Amino acid sequence: AQSVAQPEDQVNVAEGNPLTVKCTYSVSGNPYLFWYVQYPNRGLQFLLKYITGDNLVKGSYGFEAEFNKSQTSFHLKKPSALVSDSALYFCAVRDPNSGGYQKVTFGIGTKLQVIP
């Protein structure tokens, strides 16, 4: 069974500093990995994904994530945090052997607080 762990409930970072939100996963075979962001009282918005290829993927709003197969991790990063980045971030994994099935497993979420 596939699973995702986000070990930090909350991450605090000062505006302008680099940020990292951690994610580890468990899935058979090569995973499809995603990051989503949720602002208060809104649905989730897609940020970026890793399917194959370059381990460093770039996404929306200046975010990027690094896929590390040996550590089964997919950490979300941004070189310089903005106050507007404050939100709830979800890591997600899909089993590539699920065919077209859209069963995606999400982590519990990490609240990012960027301090002015």
Partner 1 sequence: KAGVTQTPRYLIKTRGQQVTLSCSPISGHRSVSWYQQTPGQGLQFLFEYFSETQRNKGNFPGRFSGRQFSNSRSEMNVSTLELGDSALYLCASSPGASNTGELFFGEGSRLTVL
Among 53, 55, 50, smallest CA distance to 94 is for 50
| Max Cα–Cα distance, the chain, nearest Å | 45
C-beta closer to partner 1: residue 44 or 82: 44
Is residue 114 within 8 Å of 61, Cβ to Cβ? Answer: no
C-beta closer to partner 1: residue 38 or 73: 38
Q: State the minimum distance, in angstroms, from the CB of residue 93 to partner 1.
A: 11
C-beta closer to partner 1: residue 70 or 101: 101
C-beta closer to partner 1: residue 80 or 98: 98
Q: State the minimum distance, in angstroms, from the CB of residue 22 to partner 1.
A: 15
H helices then E strands: how many in the chain?
0, 12
Q: State the minimum distance, in angstroms, from the CB of residue 107 to partner 1.
A: 6
d(C-alpha 19, C-alpha 78), whole Å:
5
Query: Look-up: residue for tokens 């208060």?
Result: 40
Q: Which residues bind partner 1 (CB under 8 A)?
A: 32, 34, 36, 41-46, 49, 51, 90, 94, 96, 98-109
